[in-house]
A and B are shown apart, each in its own frame.
Chain A
Amino acid sequence: MANIDTINKDFADLFEQGKELLSNGSSDCMNKTREKAFVQFQELGVPTRVNENYKYTNLIPAFDHPYNVNLRYMEVDVDLNDIFQCDVPELDTNMVLLTNGWFYGNNKVLTELPEGVIVCGVQEAAQKYPDIFNAHYGKYAKPEEDGIVALNTALAKDGLFIYVPKGVVIDKPIQVVNLLRSDRDLMATQRNLFVIEENAQAKIIVCDHTLTHHKYLSNSVTEVNVAPNAVFDLYTLQNQHLNSVILNSIFIRQDKHSNVLTNTISLYGGTIRNNHHVLLDGEHCENNTYGMYLMDNKQHVDNFTSIDHSKPNCLSNEHFKGVMDGEATAAFAGRIYVRRDAQKTLAYQSNNNLLLSDDAQINTKPQLIIDADDVKCSHGATVGQMDEDALFYLRARGIDEKEARQMLMFAFAHEIIEKIRVEPLKDRIDALVDTRLRGEISKCNTCALACKN
């Protein structure tokens, strides 16, 4: 096994050798940010378990692999619009496809978007809308604190850009489908930027899919700025194969009176690391950060969260739940900062886990750092087995054991699903979770993708 120095050096070489390809087609703003991030990456490297924040996720096996890296957009030989048809009934969305981290060149034009809304690739946005792009790109992510964020920033070429102008409400959710499709093992870098202006509203649904069975490492960073009074939802559905590694870092900055809900649902994957960073940067913000993970086999999921109450009078609700079977391992870290002047903060956090086997493991760590004196904060973590009394109660009414277990697991998970603010999506995720908990692979029935799980 390669040691971490070799891995870091390989990235340094890649950066030096690929310099021209990296800067080609990227705007000055991106390239300047890139240079700086590369220096930061050289200092930080890929995080190892020595790093307290990565104590429970060993990234070395994930990185220790000869991946292909595409530093320029590769034409896709088939029409992905034909391959991918989401069958979710009543889920009427504006759909955008990304392939291996790049905005798909033949995306259909979204004709139903309200005027002024921009949905395009990051590269395109950097060229066409520099005023908006430069004001936000690289402003919220923190490459200086995390090696994989630095690496993403250093290698970032493309991703999704969404701009919702002041006062505009997008009724239909925007559905972002990330397709990993390659004939070789691949490392994908994706960089997204969502700008939600004052009093605007948007809901984004991100579905991750793997189309081929190759080993993937996907390192994505999403920056979101939510302006005063704006409402923003981000649903992430992670459903990939066992040979995939997902590194997903989200940085959200909220301005006053904004309302944000994120819900990250990890249904399937080899190794998943989610970094959720929220900065409450104005008074009277509401943030809801939810997540759920259903893991078995030797799957691993790690949710690292940081909610930063930097201004007074904000509310944050954070709830993650997990169902763990087989030899699956999970970690949860919930950090809440309440800054010195952030009085009247309300911050609630909990993490509940259901362990179905003796070999499943969860490490959960709430961490509250409170520097204000007039605040209400709570945190709680539970790790437990199936409630035998409840199980007997259901069975005593004639429901067989397997079904009774299923009902209880589903009930446990449903608490997170019911927070979804898009009804048809809620129904579909209910169905996906139900099949997943039955031990089946949960993909949408008629989805033509036939993901290789």
Chain B
Amino acid sequence: MLSIKNLHVSIDGKEILKGINLEIKPGEVHAIMGPNGAGKSTLASVLAGRDLYEVTEGEIIFQGKNLLDMAPEDRAKEGIFLGFQYPIEIPGVSTVNFMKTAVNEHRKHKGLDPLTASDFLRLMRDKKALVEIDSKLTNRSVNEGFSGGEKKKNEIFQMAMLEPKLAVLDETDSGLDIDALRIVANGVNKLKTAENSTIVITHYQRLLDYIIPDVVHVLFDGRIVKTAGKELALELEEKGYDWIKEENGK
């Protein structure tokens, strides 16, 4: 599904990613862990198409297509979803209007007619239930005045609405209390199918108690330095990241 080869990325001339290689197959859940500043969020942003970053080398192929040639909106319509670490507040844009526009753009891409108002509302209702998000929130402007937990729930709600093939969840667990974490993780698990894949980016192992990864990668200093099964997450939780740093000579 996703194949990243020798990806080098810089921002303002400073190299952040220094040759990432990653293969993800349909149905897999990959966790990417690593200390602060390793480049985890940069990888997520580059996948979604943020133009602050410059790709200096390498390629990203998503379902046979060169992702780097595509605008963010086209990547989204091809099935990539980024769950933002810091979801943006957009005063004046209602969540309903935002989602209706997004869903219909996706449908247009697939050659489908826009949803009728009633079908759209039904879809909203179903997906809201899935992530236990309050109508009071979806009736407001996008993320405006939401708490940290509400913003993260709203990300998963949007993911549920758009049904991506590849979801990249960037520190979706940060700042969540245990109840919110459970709700968010449950939402992600309910959306899981044998065809779609997930990249879970996290600093801590706790989220991985709920979203069980098939593969865990450790990203350090712009490279993937370790790849193993889910037991790696536990080892990192126990020992921290210092031994990784030492092994890599920093």
8 Å CB contacts to A: which residues of B48-107? 48-51, 71-73, 75-77, 81-82, 84, 87-88, 90-93, 97-98, 101-102, 105-106
Bound-complex Cα distance A284 to B57 (A): 67
- How many A-B pairs with Cβ below 8 Å? 76
Set A393, A401, A404, A412: member contacting B92, Cβ < 8 A: A412
Q: Are B98 and A397 in contact (CB-based, < 8 A)?
A: yes
Q: Is the interface of A mostly helix, strand, loop or mixed?
A: helix
Q: Are A400 and B105 in contact (CB-based, < 8 A)?
A: yes
Check: A410 CB closer than 8 A to any chain B CB.
Answer: yes
Q: Are A390 and B101 in contact (CB-based, < 8 A)?
A: no
Q: Are A397 and B90 in contact (CB-based, < 8 A)?
A: no
Residue of A nearest to B75 (CB): A396
Q: Are B71 and A397 in contact (CB-based, < 8 A)?
A: no
Bound-complex Cα distance A415 to B91 (A): 9
Q: Are B106 and A414 in contact (CB-based, < 8 A)?
A: no
A399 with B102, Cβ < 8 A, contacts A392-B50, A392-B72, A393-B84 known: yes
Bound-complex Cα distance A319 to B18 (A): 49
Chain A residue numbers with a CB within 8 Å of B141 are 411
Check: A407 CB closer than 8 A to any chain B CB.
Answer: yes
8 Å CB contacts to A: which residues of B87-138? 87-88, 90-93, 97-98, 101-102, 105-106, 109
Check: B185 CB closer than 8 A to any chain A CB.
Answer: no
Chain B residue numbers with a CB within 8 Å of A392 are 48, 50-51, 72, 88
Bound-complex Cα distance A238 to B90 (A): 28
Residue of B nearest to A393 (CB): B88
Check: B158 CB closer than 8 A to any chain A CB.
Answer: yes
> Considering residues B51, B93, B97, B141, which has the most beta carbons from chain A within 10 angstroms of its beta carbon?
B93
Chain B residue numbers with a CB within 8 Å of A397 are 73, 76, 98, 102, 158, 162
Give 1 or 0 for each of A168-209: 1 = CB within 8 Å of chain B CB: 000000000000000000000000000000000000000000
Set A396, A403, A407: member contacting B48, Cβ < 8 A: A396
Q: Are A398 and B82 in contact (CB-based, < 8 A)?
A: no
Q: Are A411 and B50 in contact (CB-based, < 8 A)?
A: no
Instruction: State the Cβ distance, B37 to closest chain A Cβ, in Å.
Output: 20
Chain B residue numbers with a CB within 8 Å of A404 are 73
Check: A408 CB closer than 8 A to any chain B CB.
Answer: yes
Q: Are B90 and A394 in contact (CB-based, < 8 A)?
A: yes
> Considering residues B71, B75, B97, B142, which has the most beta carbons from chain A within 10 angstroms of its beta carbon?
B142
- Partner-A contacts on B (CB < 8 A): 48-51, 71-73, 75-77, 81-82, 84, 87-88, 90-93, 97-98, 101-102, 105-106, 109, 141-142, 158, 162
Given contacts A398-B76, A399-B105, A412-B92, 8 further A-B contacts (CB under 8 A): A389-B88, A392-B72, A393-B88, A394-B102, A399-B101, A400-B73, A401-B73, A403-B105
Can you identify 11 A-B contacts, CB atoms within 8 angstroms? A387-B90, A390-B88, A394-B93, A396-B81, A397-B73, A397-B158, A398-B162, A399-B73, A400-B105, A407-B98, A408-B93
Top 9 nearest A-B pairs (CB, nearest first) are: A411-B92, A398-B76, A395-B72, A393-B88, A397-B102, A398-B105, A411-B93, A395-B73, A398-B77
- Partner-B contacts on A (CB < 8 A): 387, 389-390, 392-401, 403-404, 407-408, 410-412, 414-415
